Structure 1
Amino acid sequence: MQKQKLIALFPEASFGAALNCIGIAQSLRALGAKPVFICHEHFQGLFAEYGFDEYPIPQVSPLSAAEHQHYWERFIERSIPYFDQTPLAQIDSYVAPAWEAIIDTAIEAEKPLQQLLTRLKPDVIVLDNVVLFPAIVNAGCPWVRMVSCAETELPDARVPPYLSGVLASDSEACARYTEQYLKAVKPAHERFSQFLASNGTPPCPPGQFLTDSPYLNLLLSPTPVRYEREQALDPQRYVYLDGCVRREAPYIVPHFPRHNDAPLIYLSFGSLGAADTGMMKRLIDTLSTLPYRFLVNVGAYRDMYTTVPDNVYLDSWFAQPAVLKECDLFIHHGGNNSFCEALYFGLPSVIIPYCWDGHDNAARAEETGVGRYLPRFADPLAALPAALEQLLADQAMQQRLQAFSERMQATRGTDLAAQAILAL
């Protein structure tokens, strides 16, 4: 009998990457493979909920998993004041420090990851991260780069700089951002290059912390928002998935004491955005004045909301694909999973980004006519009521989004990814 293929998926410690990989793992399992998850200790339990084996990376530092989680929570809390800055200002205040912290995590994980991969002996490794791990490159099996951030993560002359939130047509803004970014991250890049060299791995290009896989690279970017590239990507090595949405049980919409027959809107800013409880409370105050129903994801901070408006339902966790299937519009931070899932279910987006590739997806949504970009540095709460009214009334946009949705759902990106991985 043919040996069952063992596919090790290693997403970064974020819900976007983790849930994206769960969708791929569901399709891999359906095709007869055995997908397993390598994870950071404080992410244990999430993958087991979907029926997958978990292999946490052993900690080599004296910090416990809870203390590691607290370290990242403190990092986010310290970063909240920078979420209202422009992407250009965030380079020095948030982006460069974030790269330093991410590199610390990669260095700490390297030896335990080498040992774990030697024990697992996977047939293929799928890496959904923003940073390279030499242990994966040197594991002796094919590895896959999963680009679950915005397509801007793969540089091209006709694609805006990663994390910039500018349009490709604005060459002056692109050049200004690139110059400042390369200068700010140079110390982190040099430190990371030394780490790679010490583990027999070539350095990444300037400003980058992850190289393309020589075997296979998977991109979430849906067709309606894909960029025209100056250098076309080789379709044998780069596969566009048109989104990648996991399967969830149906969601039962709760009863709302007020506006129970009004359009249903889902709001989620991811785990990072939920930490900004001051912004979330101001946002909920605005929602309470609007003639719609709102489902609001407040993450691990549910206990901080003592009063809730009658047209708002709060929870610490929603099975997002199941919820979006019931909604009319999605307010989010521009995370790539959220951006793709909005398109997958034919929903217009109102994007209020606070960091990272949320800026890129927000600008692209506005540019391609699939949503509105409300920058946090330009009073988004004042602009929100009119944006919601406009998008909900835009019949032409809704028809376009419905056509996009039908095409994406017919593509079945999770199956496409699983087939490409098994073809290795």
Structure 2
Amino acid sequence: MQPLKILFSALNSQGHVNACIAIAELLAPRGHEITFAVTSGWKELIEKHNFKYIEIVVNEPDDDFDSDYNDEKNGVNGSDDNNNTNTNGVNGHSENGGDTKNNDVKDKKATFLIDYISTMFAELRHKTWDRFKYFDEKWAKLNCKLFAFFGALDEPLAGVLDSVKPDLVIVDTLFWLPCLMKTTIPWISLWSCNPLLIYDDLPPFGSGFPTRGPRSEWEEFDSINSEKYRPVYEHNRRWLAKRGITVTEEKPKYHLLESPFLNIYNYPEILDYSDICKKPERWFRVDSAVREPDEKNPFKVPENLVNKPGKLIYFSLGSMASIDLELMKRVLACLAKAPHRFIVSKGPLHEQIDLADNMWGDRYVNQIGILPHVDLVITHGGNNTLTESLYFGKPVIVMPICFDQHDNAQRIVEKGLGLRVETYHFQDHELLEAIEKILNDDEIYGKLADVKAQLRASSTRDQVCQLIEQTAVLKRCPL
């Protein structure tokens, strides 16, 4: 077939951009022209993978944003602002690789998300049901602001669609984007979170409840959650109405941007919920689209750990949760007592984190390069880390922080591929015993060897490429 011009865009966050890169790497060998329209902090990473890069400028919500009472500041870049953007939202210097404000991926990305998580730490420390007590007016305003941050991608992306005129768009985000909902260009939604939200008749998304648990508990959680989110729903309804989108659902899934063409989610079959209920129409699962380690720069176990005893364990709470210094120091103090070696992803506040003698770490580490070498992964339960760990046959201990991480933790336990440890309420002996239990469990390593083989043999990577191509050519859902 003729090469396609495929445009990728994503929320300004590590996991979402990486998910797009993984799919793009599947498509590139098929001869397609791949372009990424993302903010300047991702320029180096995108060009490292030999993809075309267009810089877009996405304004984060202002500090004086008053979400529920003053709608004027909601949403996308203001055309009246002198904010260094042109009329189509594309930075005029960047498409040809010119000047950018900041080429440091990790400094530029998702500063608002980090601020949001920091503000929410007090609530996140409470257990699931107790959190509802703290969902007050301040919380509602903050979450309205969060959705405004997600929606700020809409205007600059619309400008890119007009200027690039791609054959197909693939986007990974967490809010409805009117520019896509109204375009005639075929587009695909890439969902890089736990897929629980795409299913019906299962526990509420983000609850972490068992899939075989009491439905009365699900219903009570959903009822309270919907009531607490009502101001946020109304804010989103108004925001979308101003952009020509009418919301008719009483409880819309605002996090889930669903395409009428095709929707893709990246999740291992063994963890998926299709064994419990039917997969929705127009949705296709990719078992794994994991980036392979860089053979030119392979990871080597740091010298200070090479001759030390014990197993090698990787610890990461993700780039955003790792800014909770109290939590990071608490976990690391516990791990210092273990007779094992640890590779630590320290995160943005790395200078404020000291490591024990049985540890090595850095601000950001080469996770893909590290995973093949370790015996166990301790993670917050983000989708990318979870999928990558299973792809390399590694058991996981999940310490969830928020959002779908609770659901991933529950699913890992249900499928016998790891353990869950209460993130903010664990005792040292609980985490240390969980580590020893997994490291001495031959059965779990045998099961993971099978999972690893299944993921590597999966045909879904080829299938998804064919479906993406068919969507562009047919201009309809190929399923």
1:193-272 superposed matches below 5 A: 193-203=237-247, 205=249, 206-209=251-254, 210-228=256-274, 232-233=278-279, 237-249=282-294, 250-257=298-305, 260-272=308-320
Shift of 1:72: 3.6
**CA distance, structure 2, for counterparts of residue 182 and residue 381 of structure 1:** 36
Partners of 2:347 and 2:406 lie apart in 1 by 21
Contact 2:117 2:321 in 1 (8 A): no
Mapped pair 1:345 → 2:392: yes
Aligned AA (2:290): V
Which residue type is aligned with residue 338 of structure 1? T
Structure 2 counterpart SS, 1:376: coil
Q: Hey, what does 2:52 align to over in structure 1?
A: 53
User: Is the alpha carbon distance of 1:259 and 1:54 closer, same or farther for their aligned partners in structure 2, counting shifts above 3 Å?
Assistant: same
SS state of the match for residue 270, structure 2? helix
Aligned pair 1:368/2:415, yes or no?
A: yes
Gaps spanning 5+ residues in structure 2: where? 59-76, 85-100, 102-106, 472-479
Query: Which residue identity lines up with residue 316 of structure 2 in the other structure?
Result: S
* Counterparts of 2:244 and 2:129, CA distance in 1: 34
**Within 5 Å, which residues of 2 pair with 1:98-113?**
99-113=143-157
**Are the counterparts in 1 of residues 208 and 408 from structure 2 also a CA contact under 8 Å?**
yes
Moved beyond 6 Å, runs of 4+: 63-68
Counterpart code for 2:342 = F
Opposite residue 80 of structure 1, the aligned amino acid is F
- Cα distance in 2 for partners of 1:70, 1:272 equals 9
Matches within 5 A, 1:115-264: 115-157=159-201, 159-170=202-213, 171-203=215-247, 205=249, 206-209=251-254, 210-228=256-274, 232-233=278-279, 237-249=282-294, 250-257=298-305, 260-264=308-312
Cα deviation, residue 126, structure 1 = 1.1
Of 271-280 and 244-253, more deviation after overlay is shown by 244-253
| Cα deviations by residue, 1:39-94 (Å, 9 ceiling, x for unpaired) | 23444433223222222323435679889954443322222222322233445279
Equivalent residue, structure 1, for 2:93: none
1:328 aligns with 2:375: yes
Question: Structure 1: how far apart are the matches of 2:342 and 2:153?
Answer: 40
Hey, what does 1:29 align to over in structure 2? 28
The question of 1:296 aligning with 2:344 is answered yes
Q: What percentage of residue pairs aligned between the two structures are identical?
A: 25
Q: TM-score, normalization: structure 2?
A: 0.81
Q: What's the Cα RMSD here?
A: 2.5
Q: Are 1:284 and 2:332 matched, yes or no?
A: yes
Could you say what secondary structure the match of 1:200 adopts?
coil
> What TM-score do you get using the length of structure 1 for normalisation?
0.91
What's the offset of the Cα at 1:392? 0.7
Aligned to 2:73: none
Q: SS where residue 9 of structure 1 aligns?
A: strand
Structure 1: which amino acid aligns with 2:129?
Answer: L
CA deviation after TM superposition for structure 1 residue 407, in Å: 0.4
Larger Rg: 2
Deviations 1:293-340 (A, max 9, x none): 1101011222112x4222101111222222111111110001111111
Cα distance in 2 for residues equivalent to 1:6 and 1:192: 32
Residue 173 of structure 1 and its aligned partner are, at CA, apart by 2.1
Contact 1:37 1:55 in 2 (8 A): yes
Q: Could you report, residue by residue, the CA deviation over 1:146-201 in whole angstroms, capped at 9, with x for unpaired residues?
A: 121001121311x2111111112221221121111111222212221233233333
- Number of equivalences: 420
Which segment drifts farther, 382-391 or 239-248?
239-248
Maintained 8 Å contact 2:11/2:153: no
Aligned to 1:17: 16
SS of 1:398's equivalent? helix
Whether contact under 8 Å (2:187, 2:259) holds in the other structure is: yes
Mapped contact 1:345–1:405 kept (Cα < 8 A): yes
User: What SS does the corresponding residue of 1:224 show, helix, strand or coil?
Assistant: coil
Tell me the secondary structure at the aligned position of residue 370 of structure 2: helix
Distance 1:256 1:357, change over 3 A: same
Give the secondary structure class of the aligned counterpart of 2:314.
strand
Cα 1:40/1:180, change in 2 over 3 Å: farther
Residues 1:329 and 1:195: Cα distance change in structure 2 (over 3 Å): same
Q: 1:78 aligns with which of 113, 116, 119?
A: 119
Measure, in 1, the Cα distance between the counterparts of 2:233 and 2:23.
31
Pair 1:7–1:204, CA change in 2 (3 A): farther
Return the letter of the residue paired with 2:198. L
Q: In 2, distance between residues paired with 1:368 and 1:230?
A: 13
Q: Could you say what secondary structure the match of 2:153 adopts? A: helix
Cα offset for 1:381?
Answer: 3.9
Task: Measure, in 1, the Cα distance between the counterparts of 2:306 and 2:40.
Answer: 42
| Aligned-partner SS, 1:256 | helix
Question: What is the rounded CA distance, in whole Å, between the counterparts of 2:139 and 2:416 in structure 1?
Answer: 28
Q: Which residue identity lines up with residue 329 of structure 1 in the other structure?
A: L
- Distance of 1:251 and 1:68 partners within structure 2: 25
Task: Provide the secondary structure at the position in 2 that maps to 1:423.
Answer: helix
State the distance in 1 between where 2:19 and 2:152 align.
24
Looking at structure 2, the residues matched to 259 and 388 of structure 1 have their Cα atoms a distance apart, in angstroms, of 21
Counterpart residue identity of residue 321, structure 1:
I
Q: Determine the C-alpha separation between the residues in 1 that align with 2:401 and 2:127.
A: 9
When residues 112 and 219 of structure 1 are mapped into structure 2, their CA distance, relative to the original with a 3 A threshold, is closer
**Residue identity opposite 1:274 in structure 2:** S
Letter in 2 for 1:245: V
In 2, Cα distance between equivalents of 1:204 and 1:360:
28
